[in-house]
Amino acid sequence: MMLRYLGSTKNLAGCVGGLIGIVLYLTGVTGGFWPFVVVALYAAGALLAPGEKVRLVPDTSAELRESLETLVRRVSAQASRMPPSTVDTVERVAEVLRDLLAQPARLSADPDLQHAVVRLVRTDLPLSLETYLNLPWWFAARRAGAGGELVAQLGLLETEAHRVAERFYAAEVDRQADHTRYLRDRDA
């Protein structure tokens, strides 16, 4: 608690106020009352400085990356039990999610996007894969629809991951489109 306060905006503003009090003493403005002036300016700076921002949405990017990598490793280990191309689809979905998770501050700034990524990593992707892999291999191999359902689910999850990435990178896409319009208008 004390270490957190030492690095806080309030303490830093108070220190600046205290330094101003010391400068006032050194220039002869405050005279013998300089200790009171230093304390008063520190208190004023600490009280007037804005408080730290409240972050109610925790940054879970490191945990999510670890969960995602564990999931991809486990799926790769079960590749022989899965329909063709499903491991590749899981890897493509994971690649999109890795890119988003590589920017944790930006992701945590948008709780809706963070929730969508958490849901993909922790619920949707594992649920689809676990449901299929928990079927006995002989049952899944005999029942042709089971593999088709997994392929369809993974396709939907890949589409969802790309939709989330579109929202995540929307500002950059808009900026690029604006620059293209600017270049076209400049040459006209």
Cα–Cα dist 132/125, whole Å: 11
pLDDT per residue as tens digits for the range 146-156: 678 889 999 99
What count of other Cβ atoms lies within 10 Å of the Cβ of residue 125? 26
Return the structure tokens found at 170: 């929307």
Give the per-residue pLDDT at 102: 93
pLDDT per residue as tens digits for the range 114-136: 999 999 999 999 999 999 989 88
Residue ranges of the chain with per-residue pLDDT less than 50: none
* Pick from 61, 70, 43, 57: nearest CA to 129: 70
Cα–Cα dist 182/86, whole Å: 42
* Pick from 128, 125, 161: nearest CA to 146: 128
What are the extents of the domains in the chain? 2-48, 61-178
The whole model's pTM is what?
0.66
